[in-house]
Structure 1
Amino acid sequence: MSTDTTCLIVGGGPAGMIAGLLLARAGVEVTVLEKHADFLRDFRGDTVHPSTLRLLDELGLGERFDALPQSRLEQVAFPLGEQSVTIADFRRLRTSRPYIAMVPQWDLLDLLAEAAHEEPTFTLRMNTRATELLRENGRVVGARHEGPDGTGETRARLTLACDGRGSLLRDLSGLQSREFPVDIDAWWFRLPGSASQEFALAPRTAEGRFMVIFPREGYLQIAYIGHKGADAQLRERGIAAFRDDIAELAPEFADRTEALRSMDDVKHLDVRVDRLRRWHTDGLLCIGDAAHAMSPVGGVGINLAVQDAVGAATLLAGPLRKGGPTPAELAQVRRRRLPPTVVVQTLQRLIHRNVVTPILTGRRAGPPKPVVEALRRFPALTRVPAFLIGMGVRSEHAPAFARRAAGAVEKPVDAPRD
């Protein structure tokens, strides 16, 4: 089976679905390929930051989003003994939604898919896996794929790679990346019950490991952070030893650890921080994790990918309507989105070096003392990390062609306030 479209998007995550929705609202014919049969997969990031919340309002989706099961996080605090220090206070941001919304990612993706299906030029093909790039005269002109109807191909003026940190399209493109050293890995699992919001994103630390708790509706999603390369050792120790680790880090959850039946319930994430030196080749553009894998520190990866999608749609909707973007027009997306990517990755690497690694090696139980004392003495400083995490250096606004319900749109945010 062979089909044609204007823009072929591979990957139905946040970047792919946002890009598809925006381009469809611009009148561009869009086809999104998602390799899974649904969006119901655990252990995806669930933090929707103020920049993304603002975008949803601009797209006229704020009320639909509010109807999703969610909790709100207004501050991020780091426990230090019997006390804690507030690291980021989102209430200081000049935005209508000064908080992080904790929402199961599958609910967000379902919402975006529902909105995109309202556009006549949008097509979503689930359970369809891209397998190969189509090329003509050195240019990418689409992709081959496998799905419920068998093997086929879709030809397109632009192929957008939104297939994550393990991007097949990036590998097939031959684009070269720069990888930065990372000394941690993450292990995701869930425990039953609920927890107070004071636990959300607050690390629970011990020498050699720590964990971060994400309250969800009816259960807890937990990230266990340890030394890179320790997966085989953790699994050899077995589930009983892993339960003991959890009980040491969070004694109040000790009676819930029996819910972990085996290490099969613990999913390993190979943490990487990298970025492509060039994000495009003729006919193909990588964005989101396909262009720059992020550390889970700060939970900013999803929101940065969403911002990439908005920037790409804003720049490329016009060229796509006129016949297809040139390599020079594709390069503009990287020029627009590279500075915030570099800033975030640099910040993550600094946090790894000055907070995460000292915890894992037992040198320190939290942030450096001068930082802690400054935040305690001058609480207004918490606006800086709140802005960097919540809004970012260059947060994107929805382009005019994609906006709905103009009354929900707020003025641009350039800086936090006291």
Structure 2
Amino acid sequence: MEYGLIGAKLGHSYSRQIHNKAGGYAYELKALPTEADARAFLQARAFKAINVTIPYKKLVMEYCDVIDPAAKAIGAVNTVVQRDGRLYGYNTDYAGFAWLARRHGIDFAGRTVLVLGTGGTCATVTAVCKDAGAKAVLPVSRRGGKGTLTYDQAAQCKDAEIIVNTSPAGMFPNVGECLLDISGLPKLKAVLDVVYNPFRTELLLRAEDRGIPAYCGFEMLVAQAAYASELFTGTKMDKEAFIRTTSRDLKRDLSNVSLIGMPGCGKSTVGEGLARALNKPYVDLDEWIEQHAGMPIPDIFAREGEAAFRRYEADALAEVSKRGGQVIACGGGVVKTPGNTRMLRQNGPVLWVRRPVEFLAMGGRPLSTGREALRKMEAEREPAYRAAADAVVDNTSTLTNAVNAARAAFEKTFDYTR
């Protein structure tokens, strides 16, 4: 490997796609599951330049012949470049996180900041916050200890105004994990999570539920990669343009878009057309359930009842929604199960396909027993659809118009002018 990324687990990483956008070198991912593996790799020095991720950002410093003063002060290195047989260590996470905060107008000056996690990225984030004039930066870990809060203690920190998660909690494939209860933090102004897969961790979703601005670490990943790429090649780039364009384009490609709405409103037809328009794979959640249950949905309802079907549905969604880059058409009642909407929202926008009850298709749908039943169902479900949706797509005209509207709503998600 000449250029690439090392870390214990790399199944979540998008670094290869980002560095391929930078161009000029082939970038590989090399998982090193144990410390012994990492040490053997670093001792061999069989690379030109690498990025380093969890949990080796401190360990790698032992192998650097020269460490940039800023990285040394932070106590973590995430970029190593070999020149004339010597290893030079840098920390581009600092610039990446500072870019993320600046991009979203996060001002640390005079603020109390909780930093979740105690690894190398915690040290980097702490340095950015302190350099920006934070009033207090309080590290948080599972065990706590000298100068460190436990998560229970952090949940009672009434002065906390900004939270930054630097731990792997909630990261793919362990999506849904969140160690901090933020409900008791009255002064909370913003939440940032350096995790970028999924795009919305449970921590970020909890913040959004409270109307608190919440931002994932994808832009930080792209920004630090831009700074690392300059160190790799020794060539300056227009980093601002690269970060903005690459963040938008890659997030667009990697994001899901999920369709919800009443049974028979056209989610499947619109979804198939949208998948073609966006060049994304299409997943019909009901078809996925039938394949894995080994029977048609009407038979599931007849033999096991609606409650059993909802369990099948939630299990299917938990599996499907972890992956990115898909168009997912959901069953009409997907919003009935607590937690399903959160799974849909973690990796992309949710679109509500609307069609008047009079025009809803009814064949083969166990709960669509008549127009009056559908009207009652619509009245019951409309608040849930509205709460779940990022946008509404009208499906009362042509299929082409509906697909175009869905595509426009999806693309607006990545509009950097907003």
TM-score of the pair, normalised by structure 1: 0.25
Larger strand proportion of the pair? 1
TM-score of the pair, normalised by structure 2: 0.25
Higher relative contact order (CA closer than 8 Å, sequence separation 6+): 1
